[in-house]
A = this chain, B = another copy of it.
Amino acid sequence: MSKGRVEAFSDGVFAVAITLLIFNIQVDKAAPGELFNALMAAWPKYAAYVASFLTIGVMLMNHHGLFTRIAHLNRPLLFLNLLLLMAIVFLPFPTAQLGANILVPQDAPTAASFYAASAVLIAVFFSAFWAYLFTHPDLLSPDVDREAVLRSWPRFSIGLIAYLICVPLGQVSPIGVIIVCAAMAIYYAFERLPDISRRPADALRRPE
């Protein structure tokens, strides 16, 4: 199974999963003339949509960053990729629960912690993929600077820790979970991974 087809399939899964998030935005109109209020009352669904869209989008960027370092894939790596995609495709479900329950006082903590636990699952599979890859140097592209990558590990694992903290945080402040997750996505989009990715990736790109 060529790397190109795995990338194409993964991109397709990301594209479908990110687009399906829109199905979580639905409004129930009580009566004619109530549309404006119904659209306004749906704001938690918009917030959950934005948080999950950015989360999946940034995961895609990191997935791409990881794959530029891969020379070829073996069966265990393919299987880990499948598990990672399985966790990402699951995200629309906790997103729907979050959007539907964030304003229900009895259920908002459950929905928020469930959402955070799903993000933890993604981060765990991401870490497993990353760990397997870097313990199998023969799968890595030869010009990857492994030292630099390993040094970047603590910063990369911030995501896993932040999502783990969100699980109990959900019990206290459900809305805080949405804010932390959206913030993590923006943080990863700009701050950390460029540092890890750009330099070796640039080195890689030049000979092309």
Contact = CB atoms under 8 A, between A and B. Distances in A.
Q: For the side of the interface on A, what is the size category?
A: 35 or more
B110 A36 contact: yes
A132 interface: no
A134 interface: no
Q: Is the interface of A mostly helix, strand, loop or mixed?
A: helix
Nearest to A96: B26
Contacts of A93: 22, 25-26
B79 A189 contact: yes
Assembly stoichiometry (copies): 4
A154 interface: no
Interface string A13-45: 111111111110111010011111001000000
B22 A18 contact: no
A168 interface: no
Interface stretch (A52-60, A123-131, A143-151, A157-165): A52-60
Contacts of A20: 16, 19, 22-23
Contacts of A189: 75, 78-79, 82
Given A25-B93, A53-B86, A57-B86, 16 more contacts: A1-B68, A1-B197, A8-B8, A9-B11, A12-B14, A20-B23, A22-B89, A22-B92, A27-B97, A35-B97, A35-B104, A39-B114, A53-B89, A54-B86, A57-B85, A75-B194
